[in-house]
Structure 1
């Protein structure tokens, strides 16, 4: 047996800050945190709707709080950033060929955003 110690590379907690790719990846992954709060707020809203008018009014007052509105805006921005990174990745993950020709990546990304806008418009008109 050898008395040599194995090499153990030091791993700092901030290792990802040195590389811009990993930094953007960590930011993308952190966008889930405001979305968790947004989802919890909506879940409590559905529960308060089931409990009656006074509970619903308390929830509406809670949602009108400027801190909650700011968190909702951060959640919206995070989800838009998440969608943008997902849409820009899509042509590399799933390349589409039509008659042997590679489909234009920009058209694919713009088509996905067009679908998001159409669905959002329909939801806004229905609600």
Structure 2
């Protein structure tokens, strides 16, 4: 047996800044942070709804705060960015063939956005 220590390369905390692919990846993954806050806001809203009209009005006042509105706008932008990157990857991850011919990548992406638009419209009509 050897008493030599194995070489362990030092990894800095900013390793991802050196390559554009990794910067893009880290930005994409960071979109979860405002979405966590948005989810917490909605969860507290459900709790306020259960507690009664006074708690609901307090929560509505909180939601009208400009900082909360800005966080929600950033969360929406992050969500749309995340959806865009996911939808653009989908044709490579799961190519679709109809009658043995591959479906054009643009059609798959447009179909996904059309589904999002349709579901959003249905939810808006219901609510």
TM-score range, shorter chain: over 0.9
Query: After superposition, what is the alpha-carbon deviation per residue over 1:29-53, rounded to whole angstroms, capped at 9, x for unaligned?
Result: 1111111110110011011011111
> C-alpha separation between the residues in 1 aligned to 2:52 and 2:6?
65
Gap runs ≥5 in structure 1:
none
> C-alpha separation between the residues in 2 aligned to 1:29 and 1:76?
14
Give the Å deviation of 1:77.
0.4
Equivalent position of 2:110 in the other structure:
110
Give the Å deviation of 1:19.
1.1
Give the Å deviation of 1:4.
4.4
Secondary structure of the residue aligned to 1:91 is: helix
> C-alpha separation between the residues in 2 aligned to 1:18 and 1:116?
35
Equivalent position of 1:88 in the other structure:
88
TM-score by length of 1: 0.94
> C-alpha separation between the residues in 2 aligned to 1:3 and 1:62?
62
Give the Å deviation of 1:98.
1.4
Q: How does 1:42-61 map to 2 (within 5 A)?
A: 42-61=42-61
> C-alpha separation between the residues in 1 aligned to 2:72 and 2:51?
24
TM-score by length of 2: 0.94
Secondary structure of the residue aligned to 1:7 is: coil
Q: Quote the RMSD (CA, aligned, Å).
A: 1.2
Equivalent position of 2:10 in the other structure:
10
> C-alpha separation between the residues in 1 aligned to 2:117 and 2:45?
26
